[in-house]
Amino acid sequence: MRIHLSSVFVDDQDTALRFYTDVLGFVKKHDVPLGGEHRWLTVVSPEDPEGTELLLEPSGHPAVRPYKAALVEDGIPATSFAVDDVRAEFDRLRGLGVRFTQEPVEMGPVTTAVLDDTCGNLIQLVHSD
């Protein structure tokens, strides 16, 4: 068994697609209209194009807004992405205007940082030493 798909709820799919591809560096995998304004919209790592997909899921369900707000208020990331070097990614992304809620912090064998994805989520970056 392996993880095939994970998702983050996003306030706007077009904004999310731009952020997750143009800024974070993911690649669009699927973009299928679902009728109306929503799409089945996934991105993948360019390093593993057949790997786990991240669904940029619309935040339309009534439970999503309070759920996301509570996570952000408590500083809890919606998901975590592995990177080779958190400090280098922090510098690169901050140079692109990304807002971080947590600068790189060493926590034993891992280093983490937390960013705002502009779509209502906090995202953790992590690497292990």
Q: 35: domain CATH number?
A: 3.10.180.10
Cα Dmax for the chain: 47
- Structural domain containing residue 106: 5-128
DSSP letters, the chain, are ----EEEEEES-HHHHHHIIIIIT--EEEEEEE-STT-EEEEEE-TT-TTS-EEEEEE--STTHHHHHHHHHHTT--SEEEE-S-HHHHHHHHHHTT--EEEEEEEETTEEEEEEE-SSS-EEEEEEE-
Instruction: Categorize the per-residue pLDDT at 47 as very low, low, confident or very high, splitting at 50, 70 and 90.
Output: very high
Per-residue pLDDT tens digits for 83-123:
999 999 999 999 999 999 999 999 999 999 999 999 999 99
Total structural domains in the chain? 1
pLDDT at 96: 97
Residue 14 predicted with pLDDT over 90: yes
